[in-house]
Structure 1
Amino acid sequence: MSSRADEPAAGSHPAAARSAPHGVRGARNGRHGGLLPAALVSPAIILLLLFTVAPAIYAVFLSFRRLQVGRGLLGGGKPTEVWTGFSNYTAALTDGEFWASLGRMLLIGAFGVPMTVVLATVFALCLDAKRARLTGFARLAIFLPYAVPGVVASLLWGFLYLPATSPIGGGTFDYFGSRGIFFSVANVAVWGVVGFNMVILYTTVRSLPRELFEAAELDGASEFQIAVRVKLPLMAPAVAMVALFSVIGALQLFNEPTTLKPLANAISSTWVPLMRAYTDAFVDNSIYEGAATSFLLIVMTVAATVVVSAIGRRIGRAR
């Protein structure tokens, strides 16, 4: 008869001995699991810091400086960079052409932003309709313009606008006139981004509970009533996000007018604020004023983002 002293201790039981390494391995896996997402995200963060954040900080630094020509024996001298305070911002804000370019940009945005939101919403609701057919082909056809680079799209539309080659009424409507150019630029911008916004809204409407639509249909609601009274209110947060993207895109308008400029005399080198900043920095070699103009646009973009986000949140609470 063996005594209790001969029995293995609880801490030395084989099962307990096996459980300890598993716990240690689990802790190690937990630590490695936390490092893996950071390792995967770190290249994007590093590139963002190097090519977006660092240049932006340097541009803000340059916006407070300017070149001053030194005084030499014969009146010449090597130009040196000196601190100038807010003089570059004052020059930009007191320049009438800056406000004129801002007005042209806002005019295009006043047409392009609502048109983008409305078309993307209508396309998403139509594709989700019960009687919709060939939805796969339609989604691809609507999204495909977004895959075309903005410069290429502007060139294609530019040749469509030319009176000699236009199949869309180039002889009766002046697409490059002082008034028609606003429609021409806005049309290219809207055509290129509607597909992306449609995908966002279509994904949103497809994620909504279908029971709501079936209940509305049993109550006698038509397809149009279901779309307007049931789907659209539930899509309000996504619509607000699409509107925010469109406003930011309008404030960053550059590719379309720059590409159409060789074809249209109505587009100047400072036609929109970003074109003005580019001209100041790389054509007139006034990189300091260009940096100030760019930072003013950043401030306007942030302000517009805050305003549109607040309106979207208010709409969401009212819903």
Structure 2
Amino acid sequence: MGLGFVAPFLSVFALVFVAPIAYSGYLSLYRTRLIGGTTFVGVQNYADVFGDTHFWSALARVALFLLVQVPIMLVLALAVALAVDSGRLYGAGVFRLSIFLPYAVPAVVAVLMWGFLYGPQFGLVAGLNRTYGWSIPNPLGPDLVLASIGNVVTWSYVGYNMLIFFSALRVVPLALYEAAAVDGASPWRVIWHVKLPAIRGSLVIATIFSIIGSFQLFNEPAILRPLAMNAITTDYTPNLYAYFLSFSGQQYNYAATVAIVMGAFTMVIAYLVQLRGMRGMGDR
């Protein structure tokens, strides 16, 4: 009877999750040539990916994005959550809603909106330069486009992570605050020694989600690419690289291999972060 209840979910799960992964794994073991057709090549595609400079440059770019953008986003989200939870913030409900609203904006709309603001010929930057005679650097230029993408992602997901942290803060036992007050702990000590340890699980979860999102970076560079001229190449991120390999280069087998390698890489990194975070919770 239990299997009967979960059968609808298992059917959809197998159809939209397991089957595509299995098919991608199957494709990655073959190669289609103009002469000879589709042939089995085993792990040759994987060897080619690990020797592909385009793939490694794309991976290095998203790794840099992760190391810079994710800490900034999570610190901002944590600061907002702590401010709302403090009970000292005037209009906390409105403030919380205003921070969360960007997450409700569809990703495509958000990127197009920011792309218009960034536009050096028609957007806000161009208007400021023309009106005041300024020389604001092009946000979509080769040197700043990655930071501009990071700004879009941060704007969109600070509210999402803030909600995770705030929800965790709301279930911290009041006895811990009372004990801290009896001991004469300052507000900063309460944050450092009570609140942060109590929500460590949520911090780990938000970090894992952010890591996965960084390695899957696709929407923002794909949508900004026509506006950024040559700053965003077809191999700007691994997912963008796989997309253009498949839909522009007709290299479905190699694109599937790139996707499988990135999935495995993301899974390993997320697992290591989770293991380290949960081990710290166990030590406590």
Common fold by TM > 0.5: yes
Q: Deviation of residue 314 (structure 1)?
A: 2.4
Runs of at least 5 residues in structure 2 that lack an aligned partner in the other structure: 130-134
Correspondence 1:1-319 to 2 at 5 A: 34=2, 39=5, 41-70=6-35, 80-163=37-120, 164-166=122-124, 171-264=135-228, 265-319=230-284
Q: Deviation of residue 69 (structure 1)?
A: 4.1
Partner Cα distance (1:45, 1:200) in 2: 27
SS at match of 2:245: helix
Partner Cα distance (2:34, 2:205) in 1: 49
Computing the radius of gyration over CA atoms, which structure comes out larger, 1 or 2? Answer: 1
Partner Cα distance (1:174, 1:69) in 2: 43
AA matched with 1:253: L
212-221 or 84-93, larger mean C-alpha shift: 212-221
AA matched with 1:166: L
AA matched with 2:241: R
On the 8 A contact 1:109/1:186 being kept in 2, the answer is no
The structure with higher relative contact order (CA 8 Å, sep 6+) is 2
Q: Deviation of residue 228 (structure 1)?
A: 2.2
Q: Deviation of residue 181 (structure 1)?
A: 0.9
On the 8 A contact 1:128/1:202 being kept in 2, the answer is yes
Q: Deviation of residue 221 (structure 1)?
A: 2.6
AA matched with 1:179: D
132-141 or 154-163, larger mean C-alpha shift: 132-141
Distance verdict in 2 for CA 1:266–1:199, change over 3 Å: same
Partner Cα distance (2:145, 2:278) in 1: 35
Partner Cα distance (1:310, 1:189) in 2: 26
Q: Deviation of residue 169 (structure 1)?
A: 6.5
In the alignment of these two chains, the number of paired residues is 276
SS at match of 1:303: helix
Q: Deviation of residue 146 (structure 1)?
A: 1.2
SS at match of 2:124: coil
Partner Cα distance (1:81, 1:95) in 2: 22
Q: Deviation of residue 316 (structure 1)?
A: 1.0
How big is the alpha-carbon RMSD for the aligned residues of Structure 1 and Structure 2? Answer: 1.9
1:230-269 deviation digits (Å, cap 9, x = unpaired): 1111111111111111111111110011111011121011
On the 8 A contact 1:116/1:246 being kept in 2, the answer is no
Structure 1 stretches of 4+ with a deviation exceeding 3 A read: 41-44, 167-171
SS at match of 1:81: strand
87-96 or 153-162, larger mean C-alpha shift: 87-96
Partner Cα distance (1:176, 1:257) in 2: 10
Q: Deviation of residue 218 (structure 1)?
A: 3.8
Q: Percent of pairs identical after alignment? A: 37
Distance verdict in 2 for CA 1:233–1:296, change over 3 Å: same
